[in-house]
Amino acid sequence: MSSDEEIATRAETGGGTGTLYLVSTPIGNLGDMTFRAVEVLSSAALIIAEDTRHSRRLLDHFEIETPVRSYHEHNEARETPRLIARLEAGDSIALISDAGTPLISDPGSRLVQAVIERGARVVSGGARENGFPTPLYWQATILDGVSADAEVAREETFGPVAPIVPVASLDEAIALANGTRFGLGANVYTRDLETAVRCLREIRAGTVWINDPLTDNDAGPFGGFKQSGFGRELGQEGLEAFQETKHVHIETEIAPKEWWYPYGE
CATH number at residue 20: 3.40.1010.10
Residue 36's domain comprises 1-100
> Per the domain annotation, does 120 fall within a domain?
yes
- Provide φ and ψ at 171, rounded to 5°: -55, -45
Query: Domain check: are 160 and 190 in the same one?
Result: no
Do 42 and 59 belong to one domain?
yes
255 in a structural domain: no
Is the domain of 13 the same as that of 74?
A: yes
Residue 78 is assigned to a structural domain of this protein: yes
> Residues 5, 84: one domain?
yes
Instruction: Looking at the structure, tell me whether residues 111 and 172 fall in a common domain.
Output: no
CA 167/CA 100 separation, integer angstroms: 36
Burial 194-216 (b: 16+ CB within 10 A, else e): eebebbeeebbbbbbbbeeeeee
Q: How many domains does the chain have?
A: 3
Would 35 be classed as within a structural domain?
yes
Residue type at 97 in one-letter notation = S
Q: Give 93's strand partners.
A: 20, 46
Is residue 251 in some structural domain? no
Same domain membership, residue 161 and residue 177: no
CA-atom Rg of the chain in angstroms: 24
Contact 220, 234 (CB under 8 A): yes
**Does 11 fall in a domain?**
yes
Confidence (pLDDT) at 23: 78
CATH number at residue 186: 3.40.309.10
Is 59 contained in some domain?
yes
| Residue 27, pLDDT score | 62
Write phi, then psi, for 11 (nearest 5 degrees).
Answer: -125, 120
Q: What is the pLDDT of residue 102?
A: 41
Arithmetic mean of pLDDT over the chain: 77
Residues of the chain short of pLDDT 50, as ranges, are 1-16, 100-108, 111, 264
- Assess whether 44 and 112 both reside in one domain: no
Say yes or no: 191 and 161 in one domain. Answer: no
Q: In this structure, are 59 and 136 located in the same domain?
A: no
Q: List pLDDT tens digits, range 15-45.
A: 445 677 777 777 666 777 778 888 889 999 9
pLDDT of residue 98: 59
Query: What pLDDT is recorded for position 94?
Result: 83
Q: Are residues 222 and 234 in the same domain?
A: yes
pLDDT by residue (tens digit) across 54-66?
788 888 889 999 9
198/236 same-domain check:
yes
Q: Within this chain, do residues 223 and 195 fall inside the same structural domain, yes or no?
A: yes
Domain assignment present for 206: yes
pTM over 0.85: no
Closest CA to 122 of 142, 147, 139, 149: 142
What's the rounded Cα separation, in Å, for the pair 19 and 174? 30
